[in-house]
Chain A
Amino acid sequence: MTEPGFVSSSTLQFLFAGYAVIWAALFGYIWFLARRQRRLEAELKRLERAVSEER
């Protein structure tokens, strides 16, 4: 049993890995959404121009 505040170096790598996974998943998902937003906004701009030209 460890004392409160005891730093167990053998488990620190797991702690690091756990939080690395959390941040990779969250930032990865937000990056995926941001990329999709840029593509959609560009596509909408193009489509609206095409529609207004047709009219």
Chain B
Amino acid sequence: MPEAKGPARDMTQTLGLLAAVAVFVALGLVFLWVPAERVMGDVQRIFYFHVASAWNAFLAFLVVFVASIAFLRSGSHRWDTLAYCSAEIGVVFTTITLITGPIWARPIWNTWWSWDPRLTTTLILWFIYLAYLVIRSSAEGSQQQSRLAAVFGIIGFVDVPIVFMSTRWWRSIHPTLIQTDKMNMEPSMVFTMVFSFVSFTILYAFLLSYRVRLETLAERAAALKRDLRR
């Protein structure tokens, strides 16, 4: 059976195991080690995975941006596949960010949603990459449609630095954890946050590797179908 064994599958499995261990340790740090925040109490613990999810979304969309440029320059289908798979994962993590944020906000801000610059730009980011997925999923081997999706993936990335800088550029009630010279948290919280970032980055690498492998399998199946039709 093709792809049943091989370096790609081995790498995906290794990354999956690493991600599971790292996320499990991060959970231990979040719930058993780091103290509750003085003002917000235990609900602040959502932040560790909420911010890590937002980081993964940014990373995923950065990969879409770079891979889309590489695809337009080289025309290599591998870059297009990488961008498509990364965008899908980015949308999953943006969805997590958009849902966990209001769950944290309800007891802290006394509202589920506010049209705050950070929240609004993040929602726009989600819509941009949903649109990218719609355009790219309708490509079905069409180079022209893939190129259109790539252009969309490049332009859409403009919103990522806007999301990041929104709390600095405009008046916002959203907390700014990372400042230019320091993080607004005590050291154990910074360590837990950084560990959560690392564990989620490994999780992203695992999901991307898995998703790319599936896309490769789907392309092979499509090629075999074409062979049979001839």
User: Hey, which bits of chain A sit against chain B, CB under 8 A?
Assistant: 1-8, 10-12, 14-15, 17-19, 21-22, 25-26, 29-30, 33, 36-37, 40-41, 43-45, 47-48, 50-51, 54
Tell me the dominant secondary structure on chain A's binding face. Answer: helix
User: Which of B3, B100, B106 is close to A22, meaning CB atoms less than 8 Å apart?
Assistant: B100
Are B107 and A11 closer than 8 Å at their CB atoms?
Answer: yes
**Measured between C-beta atoms, what is the minimum distance from B216 to chain A in Å?**
10
CA distance A43 to B43 in the complex (A): 46
Asked if B167 is at the interface of the complex by the 8 Å CB criterion, the answer is no
User: Hey, which bits of chain B sit against chain A, CB under 8 A?
Assistant: 1-4, 35-36, 38-43, 45-46, 49-50, 53, 92, 95-96, 99-100, 103-104, 106-107, 203, 207, 210-211, 214, 217-218, 220-221, 224-225, 227-228
When distances are taken between beta carbons in the complex, the residues of chain A under 8 Å from B53 are 22
A-B contacts besides A2-B39, A25-B92, A40-B217, 6 pairs, CB < 8 Å? A4-B35, A15-B43, A17-B103, A21-B100, A22-B49, A40-B218
**Measured between C-beta atoms, what is the minimum distance from A35 to chain B in Å?**
10
**Measured between C-beta atoms, what is the minimum distance from A43 to chain B in Å?**
5
CA distance A42 to B104 in the complex (A): 43
**Measured between C-beta atoms, what is the minimum distance from A4 to chain B in Å?**
4
When distances are taken between beta carbons in the complex, the residues of chain A under 8 Å from B39 are 1-2
The 9 closest A-B pairs by CB, nearest first: A8-B41, A11-B43, A18-B46, A47-B224, A40-B217, A18-B103, A4-B35, A11-B107, A18-B100
Are A4 and B36 closer than 8 Å at their CB atoms?
Answer: yes
Closest to A10 in B: B107
Are B221 and A43 closer than 8 Å at their CB atoms?
Answer: yes
